Amino acid sequence: MPLAATIALLVCGCMESANLDIPENYYITMKKADVDSPVELIRFAASIRPHTADLTVEERVAFFEWYLQNRGFNVSFAYSDNFRGSSREHIWLVLKNKLGESMAVEPSYIEMEASSVSPTTPDYKSYQKKYPDIYELSQNTGGSDQYAWWKRASGQRLLSENIMLAKKRQL
């Protein structure tokens, strides 16, 4: 590939998406959203969870991040390589509200035996790295395949519907 073409792809972000096998229109710019308390977050997350019944823990965290990010929430991935002192890796989300307060979001709270979708235990306050998006998470944790909810039929429908909605709003 000519150097000019490679630079153009890197600038537009297309190369990053292609190398990681993440859909090109993964993130959609929307107005900022906010939650003030874990109670609001729990209510919001309860509406998302039914869409994730057939997903793995890794796919579910990526789906929640995508869903929240595309609705204007300030959310990032938290990574621990020694979750609960077990030498196991685990990824959850950290949502920051307008006041700058951080709340943990555990999309797989049932599977991970957390107290709720917004756990407040020390386990969820201790992480080694934070990643702002699926691209950095995938680049630093072994690729996008483990997070690829968008490759499932249900995920493809949700992604397509959200892209269509975003395009309608731009008209």
The predicted pLDDT at position 16 comes to 45
pLDDT at residue 35, as a whole number: 66
Q: Which amino acid is at 80?
A: S
Q: How close are the terminal C-alpha atoms of the chain, in Å?
A: 35
How high is the pLDDT of residue 42? 74
pLDDT (0 to 100) of residue 13: 43
| CA 148/CA 22 separation, integer angstroms | 8
Average pLDDT, the chain: 82
Cα 119–chain centre separation: 17
- Positions of the chain with pLDDT lower than 50, given as ranges: 1-18
Backbone angles phi, psi at 157, to 5 degrees: -65, -45
Indicate the domain borders of the chain. 24-170
pTM given for the model: 0.81
Alpha helices in 28-84 (DSSP H): 38-48, 57-69
pLDDT for the residue 36: 62
In whole angstroms, what is the distance from residue 44 CA to residue 86 CA?
30
